[in-house]
Structure 1
Amino acid sequence: MTGRVLGAITAALVLLATPVEAQARIQCVAFARAHSLIQLAGNARDWWARALGIYQRGQTPRAGSVLAFRATGSMPMGHVAVVSKVIDDRHVLLDHANWSRPGQVERGVMAVDVSAGGDWSAVRVWHAPSRSLGVRVSPAFGFIYPAAEATLATARAAGAALGLKR
């Protein structure tokens, strides 16, 4: 085998062994749609409004929900991130893309509610290049909850009304 052919085969094997997320740059909206049960389209800054009447929304973090960030001068399209774990009422771990570096996927990064009222309207998120919890405070709308969660809650309530135990 020639060096050129061997090099091409090696490159192909490396490409195949590389996770898909690392092969192509991904935006936060595409990542959130692919890694949550929230199926909205459009810019991240519009997800909060688009969720109205389709998904429940609120200010309490829940695993599987999507944290929707407001648009700012440094983040004109807004941002969305999937909550992978709730640590407590003011700390969560997020999975998201396109935050620390263009197209980069980050998993299990810390986000902290720094709002005065504890309503997740002001958030600091781990920023890899600065190795710190947020270069800036980012304004957020709140959390969008998966429809499956609403369906499950409705089914439990109906079962409870009928005297059924879960």
Structure 2
Amino acid sequence: MKLGAATARFALLVSCFLMMATPAQARFWQCVTFAREVSSVQLFGNAHTWWAQAAGTYERDHRPAVGAVMSFKSHGKMRLGHVAMVSRVVSDREVLLTHANWSRRGGVERDVRAIDVSAAGDWSEVKVWFGPIGGLGTSSYPVNGFIYPKGMSEADAIAPVTVAGNGGRDTIVAVND
């Protein structure tokens, strides 16, 4: 059976679309929807409301922990706030975040750097990796703190991992404070 030119173009277009992206990759993510999806913190509404909503339902504090959600305050152009999940604690002043809708509208970023730049070292102000400039940049953002998933408390917060170079391989030296 011979396909018409229009049918052949349509078949080619459909096959290209199917190869380009899975439904999860093609999804446009808001930070709150994504944070709910990847963490065990089930809050709704704009990101700037999550800190207050978490009171009495989830433990909250100012120490990062893997799986906790960093809650950003409403600030400047970020009037609705932002939420991001901590994917790794690197040191007492650095974490890796997994979040959406930061560097690219609707896009997801995994394991991007965030550093505590607060004078008191209390995670009340951070700088976050911004893809288009390939670095942290000069902007800093106010943070409420961390919302811990149910069953995790500030006492369970994972201490930074100290890593030493070992001939091109990383070796964990210490996991405790």
TM-score by length of 2: 0.79
Instruction: Name the amino acid aligned to 1:107.
Output: R
Aligned pair in 2 of structure 1 residues 134, 46: CA closer, same or farther (>3 Å)? Answer: farther
Q: 2:125 aligns with which of 122, 133, 140?
A: 122
Matched, 1:58 2:48: no
- Cα deviations across residues 19-59 of structure 1 (Å, max 9, x unaligned)? 43431211000000000000000100000000000000001
User: What's the secondary structure of 2:152's corresponding residue?
Assistant: helix
CA RMSD of aligned residues (A): 1.7
Partner Cα distance (1:93, 1:114) in 2: 15
Q: How do residues 41-120 of structure 1 correspond to structure 2 at under 5 angstroms?
A: 41-120=44-123
Counterpart-to-counterpart distance in 1, 2:22 and 2:71: 26
Deviation at 1:131, TM superposition (A): 1.1
For the residues of structure 2 that align with 1:46 and 1:134, how far apart are their CA atoms? 26
SS at match of 1:149: coil
| Equivalent in the alignment of 2:16 | 11
Runs of 4+ deviating beyond 4 Å? none
Query: What residue ranges of structure 1 are gaps of 5+ in the alignment?
Result: 154-166
Aligned partner of 2:16: which letter?
Answer: A
Identical pairs, percent? 48
SS in 2 for 1:99: coil
1:135 and 1:37 mapped to 2: Cα distance?
Answer: 32
2:147 matches 1:147: no
| Structure 2, gaps ≥5 residues long | 157-177
Q: Is the 8 A contact 1:113 1:120 kept in 2?
A: yes
Shift of the alpha carbon at 1:88? 1.0
Deviations 1:51-97 (A, max 9, x none): 00000000100000000000012100000000000001110000000
Paired positions, count: 150
In 1: Cα distance, 2:24 partner to 2:120 partner: 36
Whether the aligned pair in 2 keeps the contact of 1:38 and 1:145 (CA below 8 Å) is yes
Letter in 1 for 2:87: S
1:73 maps to amino acid: G
Q: Distance in 2 between matches of 1:20 and 1:131?
A: 27
Cα pair 1:127 1:135 within 8 Å, conserved: no
